[in-house]
């Protein structure tokens, strides 16, 4: 029996298994996106950077993995998130990792109205993280990274990412110039 390529074992078809309810939460994100990421301190924007965010189904369609990076970032400065559906809690287990900066987070993702909300414990005692996908459209979305220092009573915006779906063909797909005017 021939050995399978590790990527073939990991990757899944674009379609998810239809039988299980809840597996569709991240369907609209599958694909590649150009992003503009902005960081905030005290409610004011302090820096901004362009990048890319790529999402794919894995593990027979029961998981979604992404890779996120700033333009020009070397591989060691890229981050990834693994999301797997947990039928026992009717939600997604979410693990973000960026080892080079020591960033790790574990959250639980659910649909809340028209948003995808992922919440988990923050690094500080009593701290909470809330990472949301909002304004979900076929060609765009807004990601919000919020922190609570009081157990979720109040939230402070730390980062937002505006995303525009990357074209499948053309100059942008070939690494040429991109139009960020819609971000």
Q: What is the CATH number of the domain that holds 35?
A: 2.40.128.20
Instruction: Give CA–CA dist 172/176, Å, rounded.
Output: 5
Question: Can you give the pLDDT at residue 125?
Answer: 78
pLDDT band per the 50, 70, 90 thresholds, residue 130: very high
Joined together, the tokens standing for residue 169 give 């063909």
Joined together, the tokens standing for residue 114 give 């028209």
Question: Can you give the pLDDT at residue 123?
Answer: 76
Cβ–Cβ < 8 Å for 21, 66: no
pLDDT band per the 50, 70, 90 thresholds, residue 21: confident
pLDDT band per the 50, 70, 90 thresholds, residue 61: confident
Q: Which 3 state secondary structure label does DSSP give 143?
A: strand
Pairing relationship of beta strands 115-121 and 79-86 according to DSSP bridges: unpaired
65 part of a folded domain: yes
Residues of the chain above pLDDT 70, percent:
81
Q: Which 3 state secondary structure label does DSSP give 89?
A: coil
Residue 60 has pLDDT above 60, yes or no: yes
105 part of a folded domain: yes
6 part of a folded domain: no
Of 33 and 60, the structure prediction assigns the larger pLDDT to 33
Question: Can you give the pLDDT at residue 17?
Answer: 57
Residue 58 has pLDDT above 80, yes or no: yes
Question: Can you give the pLDDT at residue 30?
Answer: 93
Could you report the per-residue pLDDT of 134-182, keeping only the tens digit for each? 999 999 999 999 999 998 999 999 999 999 999 874 434 444 444 434 4
What is the rounded average pLDDT of the residues 87-110? 94
Instruction: Give CA–CA dist 151/129, Å, rounded.
Output: 9
Residue 114 has pLDDT above 90, yes or no: yes
Joined together, the tokens standing for residue 26 give 């991240």
Instruction: Give CA–CA dist 80/75, Å, rounded.
Output: 11
Range(s) of the domain holding residue 125? 24-165
154 part of a folded domain: yes
**pLDDT mean across residues, the chain:** 85
12 part of a folded domain: no
Count of structural domains within the chain: 1
Instruction: Give CA–CA dist 83/66, Å, rounded.
Output: 9
Joined together, the tokens standing for residue 61 give 């369609």
Question: Can you give the pLDDT at residue 173?
Answer: 43
14 part of a folded domain: no
């Amino acid at each position: 029996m021939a050995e399978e390529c590790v990527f073939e074992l990991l990757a899944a078809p674009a379609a998810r298994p239809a039988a299980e309810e809840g597996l569709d939460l991240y369907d609209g994100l599958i694909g590649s996106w150009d992003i503009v990421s902005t960081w905030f301190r005290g409610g004011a924007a302090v820096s901004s950077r362009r990048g890319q965010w790529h999402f794919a189904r894995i593990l027979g369609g029961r998981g979604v993995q992404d890779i996120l990076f700033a333009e020009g970032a070397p591989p060691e400065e890229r981050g990834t998130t693994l999301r797997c559906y947990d039928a026992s809690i009717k939600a997604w287990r979410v693990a973000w990792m960026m080892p080079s900066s020591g960033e790790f987070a574990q959250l639980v993702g659910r649909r809340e109205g028209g948003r995808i909300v992922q919440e988990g414990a923050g690094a500080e005692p009593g701290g909470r993280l809330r990472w949301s996908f909002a304004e979900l459209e076929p060609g765009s979305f807004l990601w919000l990274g919020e922190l609570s220092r009081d157990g979720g009573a109040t939230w402070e915006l730390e980062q937002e990412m505006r995303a525009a779906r990357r074209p499948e063909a053309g100059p942008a797909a070939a690494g040429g110039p991109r139009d960020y005017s819609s971000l």
